């Protein structure tokens, strides 16, 4: 069984403040008549093996139900995750599975989350991160602004969620905090990845298997990237243009 965790602790003081000045938390910005985070809740709740969804941050009152719990966010992603885990009694059971998503991914689907989970189980991964090909994203959302990593296998963007086994939680949190501490020191960040891989990444010649090996080494458990052919998984709401894209898409779908 799995626990769904949504990171929703970002205040609406940055790029989206002008688009929704009356909303205090980004997670509560309305999209097609609903708070943005509610779409992520729907996607997680419908995953067959997810038994509880925990929101670390802001959650609308109507979402507070037996299977949805809202806890206080932390100052950083790692501390928000710790708060959510503290509220889940089984989150430290080694075999427990976690699906962690961000609140700014309203196009996330249950199907894409299921693909990620099944691939992680099949490959016996402790950490699985979805990646989406550039051509898949641009076929549905032409011109969408995303950051792409260029590998020998193609150009990929990352999804707004990840799969994690409880046994690897401490290692993942330590790694998050380590990267956060070194975020303004590029040379030290490069040292974490290893210079050979960094050079290959810069030149666009790195192989996916090399990146996975580096991730597994840093985590201390098997980690891998899972290609997912769902463009919505690679769209997040960072600015007004992203917000309008999601509003148009979800309004049309409704």
Instruction: List phi, psi (to 5°) of 191.
Output: -65, -30
List the one residue out of 21, 63, 65 whose CA is nearest residue 40.
Answer: 63
In a domain, 141, yes or no: yes
Alpha-carbon distances, residue 13 vs 30, 55, 239 (angstroms):
16, 20, 11
Q: What integer best gives the mean pLDDT of the chain?
A: 88
- Banded pLDDT at 63 (limits 50, 70, 90): low
**pLDDT, tens digit, 9 for 90 and up, residues 28-40:** 999 999 999 999 9
The span from the CA of 11 to the CA of 200, in Å, is 37
Q: How many CA atoms lie within 13 A of 29 on its CB side?
A: 30
Alpha-carbon distances, residue 94 vs 84, 108, 169, 239 (angstroms):
17, 27, 9, 38
The span from the CA of 81 to the CA of 83, in Å, is 5
For residue 36, what are the contacts with CB-CB under 8 A and spacing of at least 6? 26, 27, 28, 29, 30, 103, 104, 106, 237, 246
Domain that holds residue 25: 2-247
Q: Residue 244 pLDDT > 90, yes or no?
A: yes
Q: Residue 153 has what pLDDT?
A: 94
The two structure tokens encoding residue 253? 């779908």
Proportion of the chain above pLDDT 70, given as a percent: 91
Q: Residue 64 has what pLDDT?
A: 58
CB of 100 closer than 8 Å to CB of 161: yes
The span from the CA of 185 to the CA of 117, in Å, is 34
Q: Is 153 in a helix, a strand, or coil?
A: coil
In a domain, 122, yes or no: yes
With tokens 């779908």, the residue in question is 253
With tokens 């990845």, the residue in question is 193
In a domain, 57, yes or no: yes
Please tell me the total count of domains within the chain: 1
SS3 content of the chain, % helix, strand, coil (to 5): 45, 20, 35
The span from the CA of 196 to the CA of 37, in Å, is 39
Angle of helix 186-193 versus helix 208-219 axis, rounded to 10: 100
In a domain, 101, yes or no: yes
CATH assignment at residue 132: 3.90.550.10
In a domain, 252, yes or no: no
Longest dimension (CA), the chain: 50
| pTM for this entry | 0.91
In a domain, 253, yes or no: no
In a domain, 146, yes or no: yes
Pure H helices in the chain: 36-45, 77-86, 110-123, 134-140, 169-181, 186-193, 195-203, 208-219, 240-253
**pLDDT, tens digit, 9 for 90 and up, residues 105-134:** 999 999 999 999 999 999 999 999 999 999
In a domain, 181, yes or no: yes
Proportion of the chain above pLDDT 90, given as a percent: 59
Q: Residue 104 has what pLDDT?
A: 94
């Amino acid at each position: 069984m799995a626990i769904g965790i949504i990171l929703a602790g970002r205040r609406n003081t940055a790029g989206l403040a002008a688009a929704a000045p009356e909303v205090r938390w980004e997670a509560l910005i309305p999209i097609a008549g609903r708070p943005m985070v509610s779409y992520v809740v729907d996607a997680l709740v419908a995953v067959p093996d997810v038994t509880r969804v925990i929101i670390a941050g802001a959650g609308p009152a109507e979402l507070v139900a037996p299977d949805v719990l809202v806890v206080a966010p932390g100052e950083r992603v790692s501390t928000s995750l710790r708060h959510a885990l503290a509220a889940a009694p089984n989150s430290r059971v080694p075999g427990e599975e976690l699906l962690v998503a961000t609140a700014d991914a309203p196009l996330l689907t249950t199907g894409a989350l299921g693909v990620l989970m099944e691939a992680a189980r099949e490959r016996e991964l402790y950490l699985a991160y979805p990646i989406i090909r550039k051509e898949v994203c641009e076929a549905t959302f032409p011109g969408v602004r995303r950051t792409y990593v260029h590998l020998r296998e193609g150009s990929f963007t990352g999804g707004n969620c990840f799969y994690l086994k409880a046994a690897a939680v401490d290692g993942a949190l330590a790694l998050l905090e380590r990267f956060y501490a070194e975020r303004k020191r590029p040379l030290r960040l490069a040292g974490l990845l290893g210079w050979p891989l960094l050079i290959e990444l810069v030149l666009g010649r790195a192989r996916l298997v090399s990146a996975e090996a580096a991730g597994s080494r840093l985590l201390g458990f098997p980690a891998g990237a899972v290609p997912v052919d769902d463009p919505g998984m690679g769209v997040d709401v960072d600015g007004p243009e992203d917000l309008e894209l999601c509003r148009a898409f979800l309004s049309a779908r409704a």
